[in-house]
Amino acid sequence: MEVVQLLVSGLANGCVYGLIALGFVLIYKATEQVNFAQGDFMMLGAFVCLGLTNAHYMGLPFWIAAPLAIAIMAVLGYLLDFFVLRHLFGQSQTAVVILTIALGFVIRFVAGVIWSHEPQTLESPLAIGDFNIGGVVLGMADIAVIVVTVLLTYFLYQFFQRTKLGLAMQAASQNQMAAYFMGIPVKRVQGMIWGLSGAVAAVAGILFASKGAIDPNAGLLGIKAFAAAVIGGFGSLPGALMGGLIVGVIEPFASRYFPAGYSQIAPYTLLLFVLVFRPHGLFSQVRVKKV
Amino acid sequence: MRIHFKTSYEHDIRLFPDWWSFCVYATLIVIAVALPWLMDDFFLGEVTNVLIWAIAGLGLMLLTGQTGQASLGHAAFLALGCYSCIIFMEQGWPFLIAFPAAGILTGVVGTIIAIPAIRLHGIYLAIATIALSILADDIIVLMEPITDGVSGKFAPMINIFGIEIERWTTPDRFYWLVLAVTILCTLAYRNLLRSPLGRAMAAVRDSEVSATAMGVHIARTKAAAFGISCAITGLAGALMGFYAGAFNNETFSIVISITLLMMIVIGGLGSIHGAFFGAVVVAFLPQFLSMTKDLIGGSSVAIPGLETGVFGMILILFILFEPMGIYGRWMKIRIWFELFPFARKDMFKRQKSYLKTERLR
């Protein structure tokens, strides 16, 4: 029973990692850029929702506030691309990496000024207590996280495979010049993907905040989600979810069965092993570069 | 305006292009040596801090600016250099042996780590090095018998042939020590750039495909760059340990890694000057912020994250408006004056490149 309990709580945590990782992968899949600020986006999304919902801020009902927060984050993502990242068009990947890390610092600072550094809880209807199914304790929020994550991954996967816009996004990442010649408005497509990833980050943030308290440093969770995205294989949406689940499940098991101190390093050790033996992740899409 | 006619390869690789620049740098060194008599101890300490950051910046610059491999894990090597130097000294080794040994050890470990890491490129390398930086923190705690874990270590007194050097009691001697290491590292870096290895590194940075075609062994060059870069960073780490006096697992956190990378970007990637300009920004920003806060009459309560927030803002502005950093801006201004009135607006226009994925081919 204990194993099942660890597994379930690991899966719920893993889904949050997976959701943040989805945001990474979306942007990477469509623009070949890596958004190191994705964790901070998640935190910002959670705080926007918290600011709209909680009684001593705006006090809106949760079911209005949550879609509003997702919309706000989508607009923010689009504007960020429009005002900042579009100017980096044609610069190296490293420049974008450094820029988004800096952006993460700025977001963390701004969130700290607006909502203070004290941990706060979202007054969410999802946090309504636990179920007990045959000895396994399961929070309502955990179930919501798992269901939403699986649905979202499925829809995003279908979106990339089936819709015109999804295919345009893939084309824009594979060869910008050729995509442009084919009539794809590459810049606008990139803006849309940043907006979409902002919305996904907001969903992740709202679910994360429903599971527990949140403070401006929660964005550092992004690094763990990053490990998840790499383990699953950058550029693969189901891979991101799988990576998240693997990292999420490893953590409780490592802290239960390994001596203290080794549990924190378990996800990163796994990450290094994956990078050494399968550098492009478990669900890789990469062919060898020819010279 | 000075025009350099290069008539032989020897001319091309001279350390100083002409007498004028030799005189400029000689004057700079004289002023730097005389600094303890010109400044009080507080500012001398700050300048020492700048120099130590500059050495660390040189180390990362070699890897990121010269070879084009972005590393977000250099704090791990700072930590390794720091801990190994102080542990060697606790074993009774004299500083003059322990200090280079720490650098060499860090370089060897860096090369070993590079062997799997060179198969990665771009962001994957950045991610692997981030993981390294996070692991370093935990490994220091796990190796408590040697590293004293969270309680940390204290730097012993440095003794060179009977001359005692300590950060607080003899700040001038410590400054000279750091200055000597800085000059040695800068010279080593400058000489490396003139050597075949340095040229190979630049070739790898600019295009791996063409470098291979020209007969450059990519993996070997990258491993060498990693090793030398880590060795210099290890030396800087040891000096940082002596400067701080006491340190533990949290001294060399991932934030230090990120700061280091941002520092060389602000300074100007790919130039020695850039490492120094960046170090000045990093070392003086906290002082500058607290002074500004006093000036506008703000409360003395520390705002958490203010420093990193402002630093991030500065960095974003630099990447957007001056990707070549402070050194790039300085070059542009200088060339504008040198060519006056013939400087054109688009002289420094970058060539646009369009993205092609490396995932599918």
Do residues A190 and A86 make contact, with C-beta atoms less than 8 angstroms apart? yes
Distance from CA of A70 to the nearest CA of B (A): 25
Count interface pairs A-B at CB distance under 8 A. 153
Determine the Cα–Cα distance for residues B210 and B195; give it in Å rounded to an integer.
19
- Who among A104, A105, A265 is closest to B135 (CB)? A265
A58 vs A20, higher pLDDT: A20
Please name the residue of chain A whose CA is at the shortest distance from the CA of residue B211.
Answer: A291
Q: How many other C-beta atoms lie within 10 A of the C-beta of residue B70? A: 24
pLDDT value of residue B357: 59
- What backbone phi and psi angles, to 5 degrees, belong to A15? -65, -35
Instruction: Examine residue A261 and state whether it is found in any structural domain, yes or no.
Output: no
- Who among B258, B352, B360 is closest to A90 (CB)? B352
- Who among B131, B258, B262 is closest to A227 (CB)? B131
A46-91, pLDDT tens digit by residue? Answer: 999 888 888 777 778 888 888 999 999 999 999 998 888 888 876 7
Which residues neighbour A21 within 8 Å (Cβ) at sequence distance 6 or greater?
A225, A226, A228, A229, A232, A240, A241, A243, A244
- Who among B70, B357, B360 is closest to A94 (CB)? B70
Residues of A in contact with B355 (CB under 8 A): 31-32, 90, 173, 175-176
Task: Flag whether the pTM goes above 0.80.
Answer: yes
Residues of A in contact with B262 (CB under 8 A): 98, 101-102
Instruction: Examine residue A276 and state whether it is found in any structural domain, yes or no.
Output: no
Residues of A in contact with B303 (CB under 8 A): 112-113
**CA B242, chain centre distance (Å):** 17
Least confident of A18-32, A84-98, A277-291, B187-201: A277-291
Asked if residue A289 has pLDDT above 60, the reply is no
Tally of structural domains, chain A: 1
- Who among A95, A223, A279 is closest to B134 (CB)? A223
Residue with structure tokens 């390994």?
A: A258
Residue A147: give the domain boundaries.
Answer: 12-222
Asked if residue A115 has pLDDT above 90, the reply is no
Residues of B in contact with A276 (CB under 8 A): 116, 119
ipTM for the complex?
0.83
Instruction: Examine residue A245 and state whether it is found in any structural domain, yes or no.
Output: no
pLDDT value of residue A291: 44
Please name the residue of chain B whose CA is at the shortest distance from the CA of residue A224.
Answer: B131
CA angle A40, A33, A265 (to 5 degrees): 55
Please name the residue of chain A whose CA is at the shortest distance from the CA of residue B355.
Answer: A176
Instruction: Examine residue A147 and state whether it is found in any structural domain, yes or no.
Output: yes
Instruction: Examine residue A58 and state whether it is found in any structural domain, yes or no.
Output: yes
Report in angstroms the alpha-carbon separations of A26 from A89, A145, A159, B40, B188: 18, 19, 11, 54, 44
Distance from CA of A109 to the nearest CA of B (A): 5
Report in angstroms the alpha-carbon separations of B247 from A263, B50, B61, B163: 24, 19, 25, 24
Determine the Cα–Cα distance for residues B296 and A149; give it in Å rounded to an integer.
48
Partner B contacted by A235 (CB < 8 A): yes
CB contact under 8 A, B123 and A268: no
Which residues neighbour A175 within 8 Å (Cβ) at sequence distance 6 or greater?
B354, B355, B356, B357
Partner B contacted by A105 (CB < 8 A): yes
Q: Does residue A159 come out as left (phi exceeding 0), alpha (psi in the -120 to 50 range) or beta? A: alpha
Instruction: Examine residue A264 and state whether it is found in any structural domain, yes or no.
Output: no
Share of chain A above pLDDT 90, in %: 12
Listed by start position, the domains of chain B span: 39-252
- DSSP label of A120: B
**pLDDT average per 10 residues of sequence, chain B (361 residues):** 75 80 90 87 88 94 88 90 91 89 93 80 79 86 80 81 81 90 93 90 86 90 92 94 86 86 88 91 85 72 75 88 85 85 76 61 41
CB contact under 8 A, B138 and A265: yes
